[in-house]
Structure 1
Amino acid sequence: MTRADAIDRAREHFRSGEFLRILDRRVGYRTESQQPNSGAALRAYLTDDLQPAFAELGFATQLIESPSGRGPYLLADYREDAALPTVLTYGHGDVVDGMEGEWRDNLDPWRTTVRGERVYGRGTADNKGQHSINLSALRMVRAARGGKLGFNAKFIIETGEEIGSPDLRKVCENHREELKADLFLASDGPRLSAERPTIFLGCRGGLRIHLDVKLRDGGHHSGNWGGVLANAATVLSNAIAALINEKGQMQLEALKPPRISNAIRAVLADVKVEPTADEPQLSPDWGEEGLSAAERLYAWNTLEVLAMSSGNIASPANAIPGEAHAVLQLRFVVGTRIEQVVDAVRKHLHAHGFPMVEVIAAQSFAASRTDFDSPWVNWAAESIRRTTGKAPAILPNFGGSLPNDVFSEGLGLPTIWVPHSYPGCSQHAPNEHILMPVTEEALAIMAGLFWDLGEKGARRA
C-alpha cells in the first residue's frame, strides 16, 4: 500500500457515509459541560464510544478523574516501537448548550442533518467532528499499512474545554511521562477560509476586564436632577473611550503587543482575510492603523467591549442611573506583558479623570505559539501541499483561544494545529455545522500527515 492508497481510503470513508454515521452517533451524546447535570453524558461519551473506538486501533486507554470533580479525561496510548517518533493529539468531547428550538427548520442539535453541503449538529465543528476526523484518518492509515502506523500515538480527550479547561494543566502535569511525545498535532478552530487548508502554531490569550461605576443607589429623576448629578452611564462610556477610540484603536500602550517581527509579517503577507457572502464583511477603517487585516487578527491585540448595562433598556425610566457596568476583553498575542495590564488600565483611567471606575480582572487564559523555525512547520505544510495541491496558510496563532500553552509550555512540545472547520460554521450558536467538501479534504489531509509521520519513523528506525 502507498500514501495515495491511504488517502483514497480516507476519502472513501467519507463518501460511503461511514464517517457521518460515526459522527451522528457522537453528536447524540448531550455533552453540555456548562450544564450541571451533564456528568453522565460526558463520562458515557468517553467510556461507551471513544474507548471502544481506540481499542479497535490497538490503543490502551485509561480514564482520568478530574482533580476538581469536573468531567473526566481519556488517555489513549498506542506504542509500536520506542525508536519511532511519537505524536500527541488532543480533542474535547464537551460542547456548548444545544439551544434547542433556535436552529433553522427546528433541526435537532443532537442529530446530524445534511442540507446541501452542510452537516448540522452540535459538536460537528467544535470539536467532535474534528477529533473524529483525526481518529478516522489514523484508522485508514493503519489499515493501509497492514495494521501498523509506523509511529507511536497518544491522545488526550478532555470534557471541560467549554468551561475553560480548568484541570487540563494539572492532569497533564500529573501524567507528564504518559504524555511524552515528539510532536503535538491536533485540530480545533476554523481554517482561514473554507477553500484554504490552514496550519496555526498557537493561540492568542484572553483577559476579561470588568469596569464598574457605582455613584449612588438607585436612579434619580432626570428633570429634577439633570445637570447636577453625574450620570454613571456617561462616565463609563467616556472611560471606555479613553481606552479605545471610535475606530477600535487602543489608546494605551500597555494594551499593545511588541512590534510585529519581520518573520511574522512575511508569513502573513500571503494570508488574505476574505469573508464569504454569508459571513460578516470586514469593517472599513477599523482597527490599528498600518496593519493588514491578517496582521490585526493574528499578530496584534484587540480590546473589545463584550457587554454593557445601565438602567433598564427594555423599559427606560426618566431617571439618571446611579451605576453602570461593562465587560471588556483583551485578546493578546505572545509577548504582551499581560501581568501589567490591569494596573496600567487603572492608572490610565485615574489620570484621565475616572478614579470612580473600578477595574477588576477576570477569566484569563494564556497566549502561546511554536517558533516558526521549528522543522515540524515546514514538514506539515509540505505534507498538506502534497495531499491537496494547495499551499496551506500558516498562521502564527489562531485568532481565538485554546489551551495550547498546556502543551507548548507545560509539556514543552512543538504544537501544530490543523483545523477542519471554517469561519462561518456557527460554532457556539444555533446551526453549528461542518462543510462536506472540507470534511472530505480534512480526512485526506490527516491521512497524508499520519502516513508521512510513519515515513519519518521508517527513516529514524
Structure 2
Amino acid sequence: MSRHDAIAHATRHYDEGGFLAALQDAVARPTESQTTGQVPALHAYLADYLVPAIAPLGFTGRIHDNPDGIHGPFLIATRHEDDALPTVLIYGHGDTVRGYPEQWRAGLDPWRIVIEGDRWYGRGTADNKGQHILNLGALDAVIAARDGRLGFNTKLLIEMGEEAGSPGLRELCRAEAAALRADVLIASDGPRVSAERPTVFLGSRGGFTFELDLDLREGSHHSGNWGGLLRNPGTVLANAIATLVDGRGTILLDALRPPPIPEGVRAALSDITVGSDPTAPEIDADWGEPGLSPAERVFGWNTLEVLAFKTGDPDGPLNAVPSKAKATLQLRFVVGTDWEGILPAVRAHLDARGFPMVALRAARTEVFRATRLPVDDPWVGWALASIAESTGKRPALLPNLGGSLPNDAFSEILGLPTLWVPHSYPACLQHGPDEHLLGSTSREALGLMAGLFWDLGETGSGILATRTAQRET
C-alpha cells in the first residue's frame, strides 16, 4: 500500500458517509462548557462517544477529572508502536459554546446536522468536533494503508473546557508531563486563511482582558441643574481610553506595543491575503498600525480593542449626569510582549495623565500567552511540503493565529514544536448561530491529513535527527 492509497481511503471515508455519520453522532451530544451543571454531559462525550470511537484504532486511555474540581474532564489516550519511533501529540476539544437554538435560522438546529449545499450546519461542526473527528479519520486511513501500523507513536489529548478558557489544562500538562511526552504537536482548530487555501499556523497571539471602572458618586443628577459642575464618568473614561489607543486604532502606550516584526515573520505574511472570502467584512484600510499590511496587523502586531463600554442607560437615557462608567478592553499580543507588565504600565500611564480615579483590574484570571514556533524550524518546511504534495496547492503559513489558543500549554510546559492545521474557514460562524463546516474543505482536509500522517511515518525520524543536529550546532 502507498501514500496514494492512504489518501484515497481517507476521501472514501467522506464519500461513503463515514465522516458525516461520526460527526452527526458527536453534534447530537450537547457539550456546552460555558453553562453550569454540564460536567456529566462533558464526561459522557468522552466516555460514551470518543473512547469507543478510538478503541478500534488501537488507543488505550483514561479520563482525568479537571484538576480544579469544577470544570470539564480530559482524555489522554495512547497508541504505542515502538520506542524508536517519533511520537506525535494530537489535541482537540469536545466542548462547545452555548447552543443558542432560538437564534438559529428557521430549519436549523444546533444539535442536528443540516446540509445545505456545501454547508454542514450544527454546533461544533467547525469548533471543534468536526476538526478532531476528521483527524481521527485520517489516522484510520493510514492504519488501513499500512496494514495496521502508522509508523509513529500517537498520543491524544481531548479537553472539555476550551470554550471556558481551558481551565485546568496547564495543571494537567504539568502533572501528566510524562504521559504527554512527545516530539511534536499536530492539532487542528480555528480557520484557514480562506476556504480554498490549506493553512499551517505555528502558535497564536496572546489575549489579556482588563477593565476600567469609574464610580464617582451615588445616583445620577439632573444634567440641566448639575451639568458643568459634576465630573461626567463617561467623558472621563472615554478620554482615559483615548490616551491608550487613538481614533484610528493605533496603540499609543509603548508598553502595549510589540517588538518589531521579525524578518522571517514578515516574509511569511507577505504571501497572506486577509478577508478574501465573499462573506468576510470589508477591511478598513485606514485602521490600525500605519505602515503595516492587513496580514501584518492581525498576525504580526498587537491590537487593543474596546470590547464594551457603558455609562448611564444606553437603552433609556435620562437627562442626567451618570454616576458610573465601565469599559472592558482586550490586548491581543504577539511573542515578545511583556504581558505581565500590562497592568502596572497602564496604571502608571493613567496616573501620569490625570486619571488616578479610574480603577483598573484584570477581567480574567487565565491568560492565553503568545506563542510562535520559528518559521525556519524543520517541522514547518516538512508540513508545508506534505500538504502541497497532497493538495496540489501552495499552503499558507501563518507564524501565529490572530486569535488565542492554549498553545502555551504545549510549547512552554511540554516543550513541543507546534503545528496547527485548521480545517474550518473564516466565515464558519463559530461561536454564533448557524455555525457550519464546509463539506468540500472537509474532504480535502481528510486527504491532506492522511498524507501528513503517512509522511510522519516515512520521514518523521529524519526530521527529529535534523532538529537534534541543529540544536547541537
The TM-score bracket by the shorter chain reads over 0.9
Q: Which runs of 4+ in 1 moved over 6 A?
A: 458-461
Give how far 1:458 is off: 7.5
Identity of paired residues, percent? 57
Structure 1 residue 449 corresponds to structure 2 residue 452: yes
> Aligned partners of 1:276 and 1:83: how far apart in 2?
44
- 1:47-95 per-position Cα deviation (integer Å, ceiling 9, x unaligned): 1111011111111111111111221111110001111111001011100
> Aligned partners of 1:432 and 1:380: how far apart in 2?
28
Give how far 1:106 is off: 4.2
> Aligned partners of 1:341 and 1:106: how far apart in 2?
46
Which residue in the other structure is 1:277 paired with? Answer: 278
Q: Is the contact made by 2:181 and 2:414 (CA closer than 8 Å) also made in structure 1? A: yes
Which residue in the other structure is 2:471 paired with? Answer: none
The amino acid of 2:396's aligned partner reads A
Structure 1 residue 48 corresponds to structure 2 residue 48: yes
> Aligned partners of 1:100 and 1:106: how far apart in 2?
11
Point out where structure 2 has 5 or more consecutive residues left out of the alignment: 466-473
From 389, 394, 401, the counterpart of 2:404 = 401
> Aligned partners of 2:411 and 2:345: how far apart in 1?
28
> Aligned partners of 2:41 and 2:158: how far apart in 1?
14
Which residue in the other structure is 1:367 paired with? Answer: 370
> Aligned partners of 1:458 and 1:291: how far apart in 2?
39
Name which of structure 1's ranges 130-139 and 272-281 shifts more when overlaid on structure 2: 272-281
Give how far 1:457 is off: 5.2
- 1:399-450 per-position Cα deviation (integer Å, ceiling 9, x unaligned): 1011100000100110000000011011100011011111111111100000
Structure 1 residue 12 corresponds to structure 2 residue 12: yes
Q: How does 1:26-425 map to 2 (within 5 A)?
A: 26-69=26-69, 70-363=71-364, 364-425=367-428
Count the aligned residue pairs: 461
SS at match of 1:379: helix
SS at match of 1:52: helix
- 1:144-194 per-position Cα deviation (integer Å, ceiling 9, x unaligned): 111111111010001011111110111111111111111110000111111
> Aligned partners of 1:47 and 1:447: how far apart in 2?
26
Q: Is the contact made by 2:86 and 2:461 (CA closer than 8 Å) also made in structure 1? A: no
SS at match of 1:101: helix
SS at match of 1:394: strand
- 1:266-310 per-position Cα deviation (integer Å, ceiling 9, x unaligned): 111111113322121111200000101110110100000000111
Give how far 1:316 is off: 1.0
> Aligned partners of 1:143 and 1:191: how far apart in 2?
28
Which residue in the other structure is 2:435 paired with? Answer: 432
Q: Is the contact made by 1:169 and 1:406 (CA closer than 8 Å) also made in structure 2? A: yes
Q: Is the contact made by 2:119 and 2:438 (CA closer than 8 Å) also made in structure 1? A: yes
> Aligned partners of 1:229 and 1:275: how far apart in 2?
49
TM-score where L is the length of structure 2 = 0.96
Q: Is the contact made by 1:27 and 1:124 (CA closer than 8 Å) also made in structure 2? A: yes
Name which of structure 1's ranges 32-41 and 133-142 shifts more when overlaid on structure 2: 32-41
- Computed over aligned residues only, the root mean square deviation of the Cα atoms, in angstroms, reads 1.3
The amino acid of 1:311's aligned partner reads G
Name which of structure 1's ranges 301-310 and 344-353 shifts more when overlaid on structure 2: 344-353
> Aligned partners of 2:173 and 2:61: how far apart in 1?
15
> Aligned partners of 1:451 and 1:359: how far apart in 2?
51
Point out where structure 1 has 5 or more consecutive residues left out of the alignment: none
The amino acid of 2:237's aligned partner reads L
Q: Is the contact made by 1:200 and 1:418 (CA closer than 8 Å) also made in structure 2? A: yes
